[in-house]
Structure 1
Amino acid sequence: MTLDLVDILTSLDKDEDIHLARILVLLKAFNRPEGPAIEGITKLAKLDFLLRYPSCLEKALLARGVSPKSIPVDDYERLAIEARMIRYRYGPWDHRYRRFLNILAARRLVTVRTDGRTIQIDLTVTGDKLAESLSNREGFKRVFERALLLKKHLDLKARRLMEFIYELFPELTTLEFNEGITFIGKTK
């Protein structure tokens, strides 16, 4: 049985807390004592794209010279519904980041500040504690490992990260709006 695009989008949208938790774990991995964890929604969206789609993360890390043995992606993850990428208005980046950040800020888990035109995103003390707890839970340990790999190998400026992703995945530029694409199979 194959799911159509509406079914996929509906199933992904139902559990907003998963997206919020993943963003907290990502911010935890990028936490810096000298400044915000992440600067810019564009950078957040691109990093979360790689974190959300393990097959894409794997391909990106391999392109950066990371050993395949160091990349925690299992075969079953390549076949999961979340492995099916959807083209949103601005590419495969979920269009809800502003909403997610507003929810996290309202719950006092993140701070969102502006510096000129750049949005600076950071964890609050409460958010850091929750992200720490999440990153130690069985369901998020692998996500946190991957987020740390992103920090180590893909902590680029937003524009360079975007260029890198489009160079690595040129098919992203040709997707129709709301079209699904699946990255299946080993990229190793």
Structure 2
Amino acid sequence: MSLDLVDVVVYLEDNEPLHLARLLVLLRAFVKEDSSAIEGITKLAKLDFLLRYPAYFEMALIARGVRKERIGILEAERNTIESSMVRYRFGPWDHRYRKFLNILASKGLVTLRTSGRKISIDLTDVGLEVAGQIASDPDFKAMAVRADLLSRELNLTATNLMNFIYETFPELHNMEFNDEINAQGLISNV
């Protein structure tokens, strides 16, 4: 049986383990000794958006002055299903982060601490070990490299990261609900 594009997109969206693995890889890249890996769901969402969509990742890093050769996006990654996406309720940010974080916490892979309205997210020792295993898997190696590059080049506060993304990609801010976000226009400018 052959899957059409819609079936593939639905499968990728509904593949919860894939989303959980990606978040573990992202958190691993931001682990620090003296503070939380990531402060706030807003920051997590913005970083995950960049990690999840290679064309936007590349354009963001170029805007930060990183040479294209250092970024290492393969041509095949520019034309994947992930190159275009649909605007969620909160912009291009997946609305399921609280659910995903609660699943990871229930499995003992992350700790969540709240201070006022902010959630601090950290990997547990077991989470760090699992994230390391995922990052070393050949299927996740490129993603792990990109997460490390995000940590070096875009480890901004949530507000500064949000401002940077909206300045770099103003089209994301003005989209209507369920509009397609298509990176093809970006790709032709790279």
TM-score (norm 1): 0.94
Alpha-carbon spacing, 1:182–1:22, altered in 2? closer, same or farther (3 Å): same
Residues 12-161 of structure 1: pairs in structure 2 closer than 5 A = 12-161=12-161
Match for residue 167 of structure 1?
A: 167
Aligned length: 186
Instruction: Letter of the 2:43 partner, please give it.
Output: K
Contact 2:54 / 2:78 at 8 angstroms: preserved in 1? yes
Between the aligned partners of 1:173 and 1:120, the Cα distance in structure 2 is 26
Deviation at 1:116, TM superposition (A): 2.3
Q: Which stretch shows the higher mean deviation, 10-19 or 103-112? A: 10-19
Contact 1:49 / 1:92 at 8 angstroms: preserved in 2? yes
Contact 1:110 / 1:122 at 8 angstroms: preserved in 2? yes
Instruction: Letter of the 1:124 partner, please give it.
Output: T
Give SS of 1:85's match.
strand
Contact 2:9 / 2:81 at 8 angstroms: preserved in 1? no
Match for residue 179 of structure 1?
A: 179
* Unmatched 5+ stretches in structure 2: none
Contact 1:109 / 1:124 at 8 angstroms: preserved in 2? yes
Deviation at 1:2, TM superposition (A): 7.7
- The alignment's C-alpha RMSD in Å is 1.6
Deviation at 1:9, TM superposition (A): 5.2
TM-score (norm 2): 0.93
Q: Which stretch shows the higher mean deviation, 47-56 or 79-88? A: 79-88
Contact 1:58 / 1:187 at 8 angstroms: preserved in 2? no
Instruction: Letter of the 2:19 partner, please give it.
Output: H
* Unmatched 5+ stretches in structure 1: none
